[in-house]
Amino acid sequence: MKIRLTLNGEKITLDASRSDSLLDILRRAGYTGTKRGCETGDCGFCTVLVDGDAVKSCIRPAARADESAVETIEDLGTQADLHPIQAAFVDNAALQCGFCTPGMIMRTKALLAENPDPEKAEVREALSGNLCRCTGYENIVSAVADAADRLAAGDRSDAATDGGRQRKQCTACDYEGVQE
């Protein structure tokens, strides 16, 4: 069957079998930023936005996604021009292996769209369907708070700096200023 999506703002039609999940057709179409971790909706690595809602794409039948607007990690910033949420994850060292990160970021995007200034407990509640094995979550929760601040400040261009975090000076960043 044909699944018509507005995928990251573009109209696209994807082939699907009856048993395909939304995750299956996205990955097959090359949107591999969305990760497969369990196929039972328990890990959140496959989280994408469907009509603005965070959805675990591994348990969303492709057929049910027909005619919906789907947003994946590929729609956010680029490495050269990170989205504020992505920049917050980078600058807060909120990632290690990275397998959960795209889903975590999409979940964060949905959260902050709904609740632009969440309390820490609200962040923890909102992310509780997205597992991370590497970080212990501390820096992820900090990154979400930081992302909220950046978005509130209308921060789109400052994505590459370490923004809201008072972190220690990084000498590796300083050479431009000390030439000669």
Partner 1 sequence: MSRPDGPSGDQNAKSTSSTEPGSADGDTPDDVSSAAGRDAVSTAAEKRDARKIVTGEAKYTADYGGQFPDLAEAAVRRSDIAHGVVTDIDTSDAEAIEGVYAVLTPDSAGMPDGPYTSAGQSYPEPSPWDLRVLRRRVRYVGDPIAAVAAKDTDTARAAARAIDVTYEERPAVFDPDAAVSEDAPRIHDPDAVENVQSGADYDRNVEAHLAGEIGDVEAAFAVAAERDDRSVVETTWETPYQSHCVPEPHTTIARRDEDDRYHLVSSTQVPYHVRRQLAHLFDVPIRDVRVTKPQIGAGFGSKQSMVIEPIALALAIAADRPVKLEATRAEEFHAMRFRRPSRGRIRSVVTDDGDLQAIDMSVTTNSGAYGPHGMTAAVSVGKKPLPLYAGTPNLRLDATAVHTNLPVAGAMRGYGAPQGHFAVETHIAEIAREIGMDPIAFRRRNLIGEGDVETASAILKSGDGHGRRIRSCGIDECIERGKAAIGWDDVDQPPEDHRHRACGVALATQGSGIPGDELGAAHIKMNEDGSFILQTGAVDLGTGADTVMAQIAAEVLGARPEDILVQPSDTDVSPFDYGAYASSTTYVTGQAVRKAATEARDQLFAVVARLLDEPVDDLVAHDRAVHAESSGSSVTLEELGYASIYGDDAREQVMGEASYSTDESPPPFAAQFADVTVDERTGEFEVHELVCAVDCGAAINPDLARGQITGAMHMGYELAAGGELTFDEEGRPNVAGFRDYGMPRTADQPPLTPILVETHEPTGPFGAKSVAEVPTNAVPPALSNAIRRAVDVRITDLPITPEKVKSALDQRRESADDV
Q: Which of residues 114-173 bind partner 1 (CB under 8 A)?
A: 123-125, 127-141, 159-162, 166-173
Q: Which amino acid is at 59?
A: I
Of 6-14, 35-43, 63-71, 148-156, the window that binds partner 1 (rule: CB under 8 A) is: 35-43
> What are the φ/ψ torsions at residue 25 (nearest 5 degrees)?
-75, -30
In the region spanning residues 36 to 65, those forming contacts with partner 1, defined by CB under 8 A, are 36-40, 42-43, 45
Sole residue written with tokens 């909120």: 94
Q: Which is nearer to partner 1, 2 or 170 (CB)?
A: 170
- 20 touches 77 (CB < 8 A): no
DSSP for 110-159 reads HHHHH-SS--HHHHHHHTTTS--SSS-SHHHHHHHHHHHHHHHTT-SSGG
User: For the chain, what is the largest distance between any 2 Cα atoms, rounded to a whole number of angstroms?
Assistant: 65
- Using CB under 8 A, pick the residue from 3, 65, 73, 111 that binds partner 1: 73
Contact between 101 and partner 1 by CB under 8 A: the answer reads yes
CB neighbourhood size of 149 (10 A): 17
Residue window 80-99: x/- pattern of binding to partner 1, with contact defined by CB under 8 A: xxx---xx-xx--x-xxxxx
- Using CB under 8 A, pick the residue from 9, 17, 67, 152 that binds partner 1: 17
**Chain centroid to CA 11:** 21
Q: How far is the CB of 90 from partner 1 (least distance, A)?
A: 5
Contact between 74 and partner 1 by CB under 8 A: the answer reads yes
Of 3-11, 60-68, 71-79, 148-156, the window that binds partner 1 (rule: CB under 8 A) is: 71-79
Q: How far is the CB of 158 from partner 1 (least distance, A)?
A: 9
Q: Which is nearer to partner 1, 30 or 154 (CB)?
A: 30
As a dihedral over the C-alpha atoms of residue 89, residue 92, residue 98, residue 99, rounded to 10 degrees, the angle is -70
